[in-house]
Structure 1
Amino acid sequence: MTNGEAKAPIRVLIADDHPSMRMGLIALINSQAGMEVIAEASDGEEALEVYKDTKPDVTLMDLRMPGMGGAEAILAIRKCDPSAKIIVLSTYDWDEDIHRALQSGAASYLLKDMPIEDIAETVKRVNEGEASLPKSVAKRLAERSHREQLTERERDVLEALTKGRSNKEIAASLSISEETVKSHLKTLFQKLKVRDRTEAAIEAIRHGIVHLDE
């Protein structure tokens, strides 16, 4: 770039399944100096295809979308382009969602109700190769690290429990015995530090371990 030549704007892709949210984000990002929304997508699969076509500098990705969700889309995009710079922009600050996003390869995790100045600053930092987490999000992630983690089978049992299934129904759906289900529940209650099924379901939803719409 020669002296006096304008710096090229940061080219942004926005992926969100809510049209009104996409429109709002597009307007907000385009209002920021040095940024330009070059493409949009309504789900993870479309985000992957649009990314391949446009190769944006930074992608703002919703985590909860129908079909291919944000975490899966991040994995797919980074598989085809390991240098992809992706920021999750979510409504939820559940620690499991934050962990899932960062494990997938997101450079940051922001909340949609954050000031546009904070979002824009993170876009700039990520574009420059930095990994940047807001303090509130980092705090939630730290809380997760202090919680005893569940096995995949324990998560399966917890998800079924949250849907209101009985021990017999859980056993049948997972092809295990009712005694094994009871054993898993005992361990789950200990790990989640709860006393019963209702408290376990509340904790599962509060931390984003289980999503009611899944």
Structure 2
Amino acid sequence: MNLAVVGGSAWFAGALSALLDGDETLRPVEIAEDPGGFARRGGAEPQIAILAAGMGREALLGTIRDWRRRYPALRTVIRLRRLRPELVRDAMQAGAWGCFAEDDAPEVVLATLRAVSAGRVSFPFVDFSSLRDDPFERLTRREREVLAALSRGWTNAQISARLGISENTVKYHLKIVYDKLEVSTRSMAVAKYLNYAID
């Protein structure tokens, strides 16, 4: 099967090419610096794409969903900096076929790609029960929107205008967010959110 690598470092792409050298089932045919530059060209269309770009959580999941719509036959595998349970779960739900971590051994990467090429999903074991203790899992959709807006440096008035809610409602949501995240300031909430939102 033809394989594309999207994002990541030149070192990773080179190491992957070396790993697959001589492999009769997996052939690297395309490298793109970012998802926007990913294009399927000529007669060597990739059947598997490794999404290795370091990007925020929402951008990563959005890319998986977008590729699933645009290229329904494409099997997306993601390369994560770390195997965070909520990100593995959400990648599965978005339509990824598999994932591995940056520090996984070459044998693990190869086994993942071979499984996907054979038509099987391949995800590592993660303890999903730990999600019960994740404060971000307890945030409502609106609370997540307010927190994301806060992380962009918006004032309460700007959040109010962008989300179409009153400033008092913004303050109410922020109080709930602070309580759930166990923080007391905007900067502490933003710091926690950015650590969570970036893969």
Length-normalised TM-score, structure 1: 0.72
Deviation at 1:37, TM superposition (A): 0.9
Q: Is the contact between residue 17 and residue 65 of structure 1 (CA under 8 Å) also seen in structure 2?
A: no
Structure 2: distance between partners of 1:144 and 1:63:
25
Give RMSD over aligned pairs: 3.2
Q: Tell me the residue number matched to 1:7.
A: none
Report matched runs for 1:12-51 at 5 Å: 12-16=3-7, 18-30=9-21, 34-47=25-38, 49-50=39-40
Q: Tell me the residue number matched to 1:74.
A: 64
Structure 2: distance between partners of 1:184 and 1:174:
12
Q: How many residues align?
A: 195
Q: Tell me the residue number matched to 2:80.
A: 90
Indicate the structure whose relative CO is greater, using CA pairs within 8 Å and at least 6 residues apart: 2
Partner-residue secondary structure (3-state), 2:168: helix
Q: Within the alignment, does 1:155 sit opposite 2:147 as a pair?
A: no
Q: Within the alignment, does 1:115 sit opposite 2:122 as a pair?
A: no
Q: Which runs of 5+ in 2 are unaligned?
A: none
Q: Does the C-alpha gap of structure 1 residues 46 and 16 become closer, same or farther in structure 2, counting only changes over 3 Å?
A: same
Q: Tell me the residue number matched to 2:95.
A: 105
Q: Does the C-alpha gap of structure 1 residues 81 and 175 become closer, same or farther in structure 2, counting only changes over 3 Å?
A: closer
Q: Does the C-alpha gap of structure 1 residues 80 and 158 become closer, same or farther in structure 2, counting only changes over 3 Å?
A: closer
Structure 2: distance between partners of 1:78 and 1:165:
33
Deviation at 1:183, TM superposition (A): 1.1
Which amino acid counterpart does residue 52 of structure 2 have in structure 1? D
Q: Is the contact between residue 107 and residue 132 of structure 1 (CA under 8 Å) also seen in structure 2?
A: yes
Q: Tell me the residue number matched to 1:196.
A: 184
Q: Is the contact between residue 16 and residue 65 of structure 1 (CA under 8 Å) also seen in structure 2?
A: no
Deviation at 1:53, TM superposition (A): 5.5
Structure 2: distance between partners of 1:158 and 1:54:
43
Among candidates 139, 150, 167, match of residue 178 of structure 1:
167
Q: Which runs of 5+ in 1 are unaligned?
A: 1-9
Q: Describe the superposition over 1:43-87 as per-residue Cα deviations: whole angstroms up to 9, x where unpaired.
A: 22332x227853334221125359xx5433332332244343221
Which amino acid counterpart does residue 115 of structure 1 have in structure 2? A
Deviation at 1:176, TM superposition (A): 2.7
Q: Describe the superposition over 1:156-201 as per-residue Cα deviations: whole angstroms up to 9, x where unpaired.
A: 2112323444434433443432211111112223433x13234433
Length-normalised TM-score, structure 2: 0.77
% identity of equivalent residues = 25
Structure 1: distance between partners of 2:154 and 2:75:
41
Q: Is the contact between residue 13 and residue 58 of structure 1 (CA under 8 Å) also seen in structure 2?
A: yes
Q: Comparing 106-115 with 74-83, which one deviates more in the overlay?
A: 74-83
Q: Does the C-alpha gap of structure 1 residues 107 and 196 become closer, same or farther in structure 2, counting only changes over 3 Å?
A: same
Q: Tell me the residue number matched to 2:131.
A: 144
Deviation at 1:88, TM superposition (A): 0.4
Q: Does the C-alpha gap of structure 1 residues 52 and 155 become closer, same or farther in structure 2, counting only changes over 3 Å?
A: farther
